[in-house]
Amino acid sequence: MKLKDKVAIITGSASGIGEATAVRFAAEGAKVVVCDVNQAGIDRVVADLQATGAAAVGFVVDVTNPESIAAMVTAVKAQWGRIDVLVNNAGITMDAQLYKMSDDQFDRVIDINLKGVYNCTKAVVDTMIEQNSGVILNASSVVGVYGNFGQTNYAATKFGVIGFVKTWAKELGKKGIRANAVCPGFVATPMVKAMPEKVLQGMEERVPMKRLAQPEEIASVYAFLASDDASYINGAAIEVTGGLTL
């Protein structure tokens, strides 16, 4: 078990990659904190994890709301005494080409995908500094390395969270804390599966492996980066794309 007794907070873990990451972390022995805005999804994931014998708790947290994050951090520390891993996974898309994008679309995506990562990391960093150990993992994207049509707002946030980990790697490395980003290509989650069949087929065609990633194939990379197997990986942005960008 790679993550035995590590306390891990995973944002946006009521669905998709976050849920798969919660399941994988629990299987690796972690104590998992499921947090999301989706109460029904939290309840389902926590019940599934507990049914396997895993230690799991759920919190309704909006990553744009520092009070809700602080309440979770306080409760987790009261219950388990520490925070070893934060996976900043919560994210949304509100796509439009630049000339059609509303300020609301821009601001909402920045608030959740970029400021939300800042809010959550700020809320745990003092604890990690006190412990002299911790791992921070940010959900970037292939779009955060290459940009994408219709995603001015999303691309800015996914580039931004890579900037965060490179900065935090420099600031926090001497305090025993590692920070890395994961940049998936196309992953078969509710976010992507909602797209028209023709668009999905076009996406698969562009990948040398001729298929989308399964959420578990991203979760396994988070588990590796959270573990001591990745003890010298710091400030990296790891592409997990099936070769999409070649």
Q: What is the 3-state secondary structure (H, E, C) of 122-165?
A: HHHHHHHHHHCCEEEEEECCCHHHHCCCCEHHHHHHHHHHHHHH
- Contacts with ligand NAD: how many residues (CB under 6 A)? 30
Region at 35 (left for phi over 0; alpha for psi -120 to 50; beta for the rest)? beta
Task: Select the residue interacting with ligand NAD from 6, 7, 10, 11 (CB under 6 A).
Answer: 11
Strand ordering across the sheet containing 31-36 = 56-60, 31-36, 7-11, 85-88, 134-139, 177-184, 237-240
Mutual angle of helices 116-131 and 66-80, in 10-degree steps: 30
124 makes contact with ligand NAD (CB under 6 A): no
Q: CB of residue 236 vs ligand NAD: minimum separation in angstroms?
A: 16
Answer whether 230's CB lies under 8 Å from 224's CB.
yes
| Element housing 27 (H / E) | helix 16-27
Q: Is 192 helix (H, G, I), strand (E, B) or coil?
A: helix
Q: CB of residue 7 vs ligand NAD: minimum separation in angstroms?
A: 19
Q: CB of residue 58 vs ligand NAD: minimum separation in angstroms?
A: 12
Q: Which residue in the block uniquely carries the two structure tokens 């794309």?
A: 241
117 makes contact with ligand NAD (CB under 6 A): no
Of residues 39 through 58, those in contact with ligand NAD by CB under 6 A are 41
Among 180, 195, 199, 198, which residue's Cα sits nearest to residue 240? 180
Of residues 132 through 151, those in contact with ligand NAD by CB under 6 A are 139, 141
Residue 34 is which amino acid?
A: V
Q: CB of residue 174 vs ligand NAD: minimum separation in angstroms?
A: 28
- Upper half-sphere CA count for residue 4 (Cβ side, 13 Å): 1
Catalytic residue, from 99, 118, 146, 154: name it: 154
Of residues 166 through 225, those in contact with ligand NAD by CB under 6 A are 184, 186-187, 189-192
Q: CB of residue 81 vs ligand NAD: minimum separation in angstroms?
A: 24
- Nearer Cβ to ligand NAD (89/127): 89
Residue 87 is which amino acid?
A: V
Task: Select the residue interacting with ligand NAD from 92, 101, 200, 238 (CB under 6 A).
Answer: 92
62 makes contact with ligand NAD (CB under 6 A): yes
154 has catalytic annotation: yes
Q: Which residues are catalytic?
A: 154
Interface residue list for ligand NAD (CB under 6 A)? 11-12, 14-18, 36-38, 41, 61-64, 89-92, 112, 116, 139, 141, 184, 186-187, 189-192
